[in-house]
Every structure is written in structure tokens, then in C-alpha cells.
Chains A and B, each alone.
Chain A
């Protein structure tokens, strides 16, 4: 197992949701182009951060990779095997190796199941453990995520948001996955609890050699956790680079604006900073702008930007961006 081994590769991934009209006979009148042609890869053991504003398609990307949505086009290669072409038993077998941690710890745990059953269910489904062995594993997992092992008979409502998120993490770990999609796992939590979960995810990654796709809208958190970062805008990746490159020398005007908009908890820094304030709102993904998606809000747009879509190209040492101006 080499360090640079690519675990997951996404090629030309598209996820379009049809828009229909009519009550009895439904005609398709358009499509929400939630994800529109993504190319990226994740190396084994690394964390790829995926950032963007709400509605940019970052969660859809995570779900399409795990085949929770079947992508409209493109390939998702997990160790070179295309998940999009798999179905039934073969896909189920693969799913054991990929798990997800959801955003809302209040909605993602079944309120009628005990914690023990929630964490034990995936083990049963994948025939990993039964009976006493399963219970022991559940208790072990609870300990690993920092909860009391004797909580396994309790129900989700007895726990706080942060504790519930720990249960969600334990459930994801139950099948000993290699790859976990973390879909905004901390944005529903209080600030003091967020740091607990961030640290937990880091510790688990080191202990179990996990590979993360970390989806978030908080750029500071992504910077803290990720090895490489991809920035999404309106269904497309506009820039992808190592963490230090992206935060130190962002190329794409959208990334620059996004970084400058993040408040820094230090009044002296804040007073000196220059903000790039973007005008307007994100356009609708049903009818994205022509040429470069971003040209309607871009401070440095030229006429070419509205005519021709810029290529997503390597601008040097693995720093990719799609912009005519860089």
C-alpha cells in the first residue's frame, strides 16, 4: 500500500434532477444541474475538504459518490472499480467499505431504536457480528467515540446534539470502513462542542487509517482538517489544491472572495483586512449562466467569460483552477 495510492476517483460526475410538469402525464421540462461534471481524486488516508455555499452541490456530490443517488453520468472509481455500474449484491458489498456521517444528529438517528441497535444494525446487515460479540463491539465503539459503554440501552432523545453526533460516528465505524463521507458533521452543533467532534474525527483517522471526504461550508474548519481542498460553485469545482496552496495563494476569484468573507476572531486583523464583497446571489442551477458559471458575480470578468467555459486546468504543482484570467 503506497502512500500516494488513489482510493477514489471521480470522472465527469453529473447529477441532474429532473423537473416535471403536469399532474397525470409528467413531462420533463428541465433539470436541476446540482452536480455538473466533476473530476477529482482522493488518495488513501488523506482528507479532501469540499467547500461551497448552500446549494452548490457539495452534499449531492457526497451522496452521488456513495450511490445514494444514482449519478446521471460519469464514473466513480473506488480502487479502480466503477460504482455507478454496480448494483445489487456487489454494490452492497462495496458499501461496507464506505460510510457516511450526516449533518443533522437529530434527524439521522431513528428515535425508536436503542443506541445499541443503531450501532449494531450495520454489523448485522453485513454479517460481521452477532449476539454477544455484536454487543461487545458496540460497547467498544461507544468507548472509542468517547461515550459511556453502558449507554447502549438508551434512546437517542436522552442525548445532546454532540453526543448524538458521536453515536452517528460510531455507527459509521461499525463496519470498519475505509472511506467516510462527512457531510457537514459539525454545523448543527454548538461552538464548544464542534471542537470535540473535530478532534474525535482526527483521532479516528489516525487510529483507523480512514480516508475522509469532508463536506462543509465553514472554511476555517476545512482548513483545519483537510490535506487538500476543493471549492465548488454552482455544481462545478472551480479550484482544487493542497490546503496550504489554496489558503495562501488562491487563484480563482470565487475562492478569493470566499476566503475574504470569513470573519477572523481578532479585531486587529479584522480592521486591516480587505474584503472582496461579491454582488448578487448564486444563480439558479436550473438555468446556469453561459460560459463561466461565476461571471455574473465575478469582479474581474471579461467578455470572453460569458461566452466560453474555462477549462479546468493544472496551473502548476497540482493546483487546478477553472478561470480565463489566471
Chain B
């Protein structure tokens, strides 16, 4: 399968009163057609800003994409004009946002909101788009779609609203679906419904998915490849089987160690990552994880480690050679 999306040396910064926030700093990754990529990290690590930069949805000012390339289907999305990016957004690349309560317009009916993209991108008339919208709502599992299509968002529950968001995203058969923490605001049983839905739709439609989350468990169940981000950088990137069986970056190890697992053998003590997430304004030179790292060496404070391969398709940005156990 060919490469669908190539992100090269992406840098996005926010110019605030307190200084320049380097939200995304030199991030590169590829995504194949039909592949599911998970981006994991804590709040403020730059995972949302990365995908918003891909869609060119960074509010400007204060934000600015200061460097890099986003090559989608052979074209650099950062170079095309506004007219062209609008043709890509919602059409070839679609996005589902975290909070289904606030990302639907409360004063428009579901029909208006789902039909909009169909009329805009596919040139359907009102009747056609309404018919297609009902089909889409049925596809994402909304009961009595034909009846409910004229309802307003407040008449839907959280899980149902997220289904509507997914229906909207899928309306133009996108090649890439970006899901930004789509299940974080939902309960576990509803989360399981949504994950199953996206897996099923992905299989049927053959689209690629970027799934952003802070939950390592969700990633294990649905992604093929994972990127772990920390402080605007990629810390580790690997196939999903490798990241859990053989994590090599201290931060990934820390994340896995600090999770209580439903299937853990005994009541064992958790090993948290000590310290606090970094301040992205005054980033010291060197590795941003160094102050919290158990494997820290002198060089970590001086120079940022470049991504290096440690196995097939497995890269880390770390000076240390982390194997099992503590340093």
C-alpha cells in the first residue's frame, strides 16, 4: 500500500504574552493508506496541535506553523491556498473532535449539519443530501434515523452525538479520518460502542485513521502503529505489538508502569513518573523528559536526542539504552 500522508519536520508554535510555546517541535511521521495510527500522550504534549496543523486549523494568531511539510496525496497542504485546503477538509480528510457536546451547532438540526458537507463537496441537492444523511445515520447505528434527522443536538445523548459527528466525518468517504480523543468524554460502555463502530466502518470503507488518545488501552485494541509524544516531540514510534512488549523509551515505560491494569495479577504498587510535565515556554536544551527520567545521563541535559532506530519500524528519541528494569 502506498503512503497517504507524510509529515516532515513539522513545527507549530504559539506566540503568547509569556513567550513562545513550542507546541510541536520537529515532528515527522508517515501514514499508509488504510492504516490506523495511534498518537498517545498527556495533555499539552502536542498531539492535538499536530493533527490540527495537518488540517491547517491552528488559530492564527497566536499560533503559527513555522516549518515543515504535510504531504497528502502528493501535495504539500501547508503550501496550497485557502480555497484548495477547504476542498480537502471534510472531503478527503475528516475529523472527529473530543467533545460531542460542544462540537455540534446547537441551533441547527442534525439534517442541516450532516447535509452541509454533502452539498458543499459533492454538489448534492437538498433531497439527495437528506436521503444520504439518513443512510449515514443508519450506518453509524442511530435508531429511527429518518425520524430523528430533524432533531436538534440537545435531543441526542453524548454517545449518539458522537455517532452524528462520525456520520458527518464519513459523509464524503474521506481517505483519512482523524479522531481527536473521540471517546474521552464518554462512558466506558459507550466508548466500547464507538470503538467497535469505527473499526467496522474502517474495514468497510478502507480509510486510514489517526486516533489520538491518552489511553494506552484504547490504542492496544485498535491501532497498528503508535506514536508516543512528550513535550511536542516524538518520544517513541513503533508497531503496536512492540510498544507494549518491548517499550524502549523511559517515558513509554513510565506510562505503562503507572497504569493499573484490569488483568494485573496481584495488588502491586504502581510506579508513577515522578515530577511534573514540562513547561513548554522555557524548554531547556536537551531532552525534555530528562528531569523526570530514571536513566538520565549528562548528555541528556545538553543535547536533544534524534530519533534512532532500535528495531524494524521501531524508533526512539533517547540517549540511553533502556532494557527491562531500572537503571
Contacts and interface: CB of A to CB of B under 8 A. Distances in A.
Interface of A: 53-54, 160, 162-163, 190-196, 198-199, 202, 217, 219-221, 223-225, 247, 257-270, 275, 277-278, 281-282
Given A191-B42, A258-B189, A267 B159 contact: no
A270 B216 CA distance: 12
B160 interface: yes
Contact of B258 (A53, A191, A269, A270): A191
16 contacts: A53-B189, A54-B187, A191-B42, A192-B258, A193-B276, A195-B260, A198-B260, A202-B269, A224-B267, A225-B260, A261-B191, A261-B192, A264-B217, A265-B217, A267-B221, A270-B221
A261, A263, A266, A269 interface centre (most CB from chain B within 10 Å): A263
B270 interface: yes
B127 to A, nearest CB: 31
A265 B188 contact: no
A265 B216 contact: yes
A176 B258 CA distance: 29
A192, A196, A264 interface centre (most CB from chain B within 10 Å): A192
**9 tightest A-B contacts by CB?**
A263-B217, A195-B272, A195-B258, A224-B260, A261-B192, A53-B187, A192-B273, A265-B216, A270-B221
Contact of B189 (A263, A266, A278): A278
A195 B259 contact: yes
A281 B220 contact: no
Contact of A262 (B188, B190, B193): B188
Given A198-B270, A220-B261, A264-B217, A192 B255 contact: yes
Interface string B215-249: 11111110000000000000000001100100000
Contacts of A275: 192, 196
Contacts of B218: 263
A263 B215 contact: yes
B34 interface: no
Given A217-B188, A220-B260, A266-B220, 14 more contacts: A160-B276, A190-B214, A192-B255, A195-B258, A196-B274, A223-B260, A257-B189, A261-B188, A261-B191, A262-B217, A264-B261, A265-B244, A265-B256, A277-B196
A45 to B, nearest CB: 15
B155 to A, nearest CB: 12
A262 B262 contact: yes
B206 interface: no
A224 B270 contact: yes
Contacts of A190: 42-43, 214, 277
A259 B189 CA distance: 9
A278 B273 contact: no
Given A195-B272, A266-B244, A247 B262 contact: yes
A188 B214 CA distance: 12
Contacts of A261: 188-189, 191-192
B281 to A, nearest CB: 15
A219 B188 contact: yes
Contacts of A282: 187
A132 to B, nearest CB: 31
A195 B271 contact: yes
